Structure 1
Amino acid sequence: MADLALKPEIASEFVRFLDAQLKEAREQLQRSTDDNVALRREFEAFRSDAGTASHGSAERSEIESLRAEVSRLRKELEDAQESTRSHQAEASTWRTRYEQLKPQLANSAAHTAQILEKMREELAATTPHGSSTGQTLIQFRALLHTLPSVAASASPSGSKVVFHGTKLPPLLSKATLKACTGGVCFFGHLLEWVAASSQHAYTIFPEYRYNPKPSEGEPTWTAATDCDSLVGQQRELFYVDAGNICYAGTFLCHAGPRSVKAAVLAVDTESVAQAVARKTFNVNIKSSQSRQAKAKTYMPLLADLYAEGTATVRILGLQRVGFNKKLFEILRKAHDQRDRRRSESASTSTLSDMLVETGTPSTHASQSGRRKRDWFDEIWDDGEETEGGGPGPSKVPRLDEDEVNDMMTVWRA
């Protein structure tokens, strides 16, 4: 330091050097600061640009999605327009056909009306004047309700089902027929029980049969005799309950009122009218095709006559006078055997399927052949189809047979 003091020129030079160095350092610091600020601005700008680019990509993706949806909707619209044009063409075609057929339909309706009016006139010429009223049927029901009856003496609470389904088989075994008292009767859903607590029932028969193509000199309407042939006879009665045929017992047939209108028989007049119309139609034509054509024309008209009350029916009363235990046991035994065979057949079928999968032979074919030969499995094509049926007879005290015969009353119309 002494030397510096001694040489002021050196000290002054050194101070200037330090000032220069300090100035340069300050300038460099300022440049660094400016560069840092510039870099920061560039970074912010870059980050802003990057965010803007990302947002634009999302918008572009949404726009593309909307364009695809618009294209799909446009395609659906084009398809709908094409379908509309096709339907319009079909509607125009059907409208043209309808306009062409309208005169034929009008002529057909007029022709049907003429046929119906002719049927009315022919029936009026056949039937006697005066007819029973609904009150007569009510009185007959009341009478049936008071008649004595005989209840089943064996297992009264057991099942009375003897056949599955609602059609009575056409063939019965010799043992079954031999055990019957008088014969078998089955009226399908035309059977009505007098009351849920009553053992007695009634059914309906057409008063006349109608043949649209009678032989020369014969009328189209003829008196039906089916009901008359049963009056005073005993029959084994079957009825439908829960889709199965049950045995009801032995019944005595009583003549009921005549000229009863279908409207007083049941709430569903239309179904009763159609069922009786099937029994009324009586055409003797060999060709099945011709019979079907006649039935298609005349059976609806017969149903109309019953529904409007022009055509009437007869009532047949059914008094329960016994329960044929022997017949019932034969039928129940056969029923149980059929059920066992069905169960065995179902089990055999399942086993056969398994054996077929493994390549093992089975005897299912021979068992199936034996089952096909079972007469119980035949179907009665001409049988009375039923749609339900009323409640079956309930349990009542058993009466002595002689007492029943003494108390028996036959209604005379």
Structure 2
Amino acid sequence: MHKEKQIKAFRDEVLSLKCERESAREEARKSKELYKQLRRRTEDLEKIVKDQGKSDYGRAVQNPFDIISSLPLCLKRPAHGTLVPIAKKGVQLREYLLSRTDTQAYANTVLFLPGRFSWCTTARTYHHALAFGPTHTFNIQSRQWEKGTFMEPLYGQTREFFYEDKGDVFYSGTYRCIRLDNPIINWPEPGVQGLVPYIMAETALSEDFRNAPCSHAHKGTVSKLYREGVLKLECMGLQCVGFDKELYKHLVAQYQHNSPTKEKKRSASVEEDKARKRKKT
């Protein structure tokens, strides 16, 4: 009887492994199909870009990092290294702001792009930045790539910008969203920090696609296409134009109230250093 149970268990395990193998094959097939569709779409887009480039022949294209780095610094913003955390990584920032009466008014002005922005180094510090989004998104219903509109609603807007760093979320200041003359670029060089191909791929896939059983394989495929320069990015400038001290004060106070004692001491120490620096100046 015990032997029969063992045999049945082995058979069930073999059947389970076969099912997993078939599932993996199906994911690979769908990923390969998506890759072919991407290639075809990319060839069409490259032809359009090439034709457009003929009319722009001879016109110099300036690096977007250089453009934004050359903007004047905002003197209202504290030095980057003195900023303290306002929340832990993974927080639903908009919902977090809505949960407090003293920050509710800011909930619809948030700009928070983990894995989709990079700092423009200015005078050996971080101040202005660049935001990135997919030029096209994949619609699972139509099985087609459609022009993305991630940046369009933001151009000309002023937003409260937040960023992640080493497990924490920080408030960076008030930023103006700037439309660049040549916003379509390839994936930046490996030395550029802040951009995550997998997150960009997730953004480029529709919500239905992101939740599909084979979504992990598709995200990996799209990530590779970004890194190889097959898929392009839309780039937007982020110029620091202010710093809301009241918002910052409320968020820091709430974070310190919710944080362990060690974290409170660290944040308080940074605040004391800032106060000493202000006295010296």
Code of the residue aligned with 2:129 in structure 1: it is A
Determine if the alignment matches structure 1 residue 201 to structure 2 residue 129. yes
User: How many pairs does the alignment contain?
Assistant: 232
* Partner Cα distance (1:208, 1:281) in 2: 9
318-327 vs 275-284, which deviates more? 275-284
Quote the residue 1:213 is aligned against.
141
TM normalised by structure 1 equals: 0.48
Structure having the higher helix fraction is 1
Give the direction of change, closer, same or farther, for the CA distance of 1:108–1:283 in structure 2 (3 Å limit). Answer: closer
Quote the residue 1:277 is aligned against.
201
Give the share of equivalent positions with the same residue, in percent: 19
Contact 2:27 2:214 in 1 (8 A): no
TM normalised by structure 2 equals: 0.68
Structure 1 residue 211: Cα displacement: 1.7
**SS in structure 2 at match of 1:201:** strand
Structure 1 residue 245: Cα displacement: 1.0
Which has more radius of gyration? 1
Structure having the higher strand fraction is 2
Q: Map of 1:84-163 to 2, 5 A cutoff?
A: 112-125=31-44, 129-130=48-49, 136=61, 139-152=63-76, 158-163=82-87
- Which deviations, in whole Å up to 9, do the C-alpha atoms of 1:72-92 show, x marking residues without a partner? xxxxxxxxxxxxxxxxxxxxx
Contact 1:206 1:312 in 2 (8 A): yes
Quote the residue 2:101 is aligned against.
174
Structure 1 residue 208: Cα displacement: 0.6
Code of the residue aligned with 2:147 in structure 1: it is A
Determine if the alignment matches structure 1 residue 233 to structure 2 residue 161. no
- Which deviations, in whole Å up to 9, do the C-alpha atoms of 1:11-68 show, x marking residues without a partner? xxxxxxxxxxxxxxxxxxxxxxxxxxxxxxxxxxxxxxxxxxxxxxxxxxxxxxxxxx
Quote the residue 2:173 is aligned against.
249
Contact 1:149 1:322 in 2 (8 A): no
* Partner Cα distance (1:115, 1:292) in 2: 14
Q: Map of 1:252-331 to 2, 5 A cutoff?
A: 252-256=176-180, 257-262=182-187, 264-267=188-191, 272-284=196-208, 291-331=211-251
- Which deviations, in whole Å up to 9, do the C-alpha atoms of 1:154-173 show, x marking residues without a partner? 79874431113354433312
Structure 1 residue 109: Cα displacement: 5.4
**SS in structure 1 at match of 2:96:** coil
* Partner Cα distance (1:186, 1:324) in 2: 16
Q: RMSD of the alignment, in Å?
A: 3.7
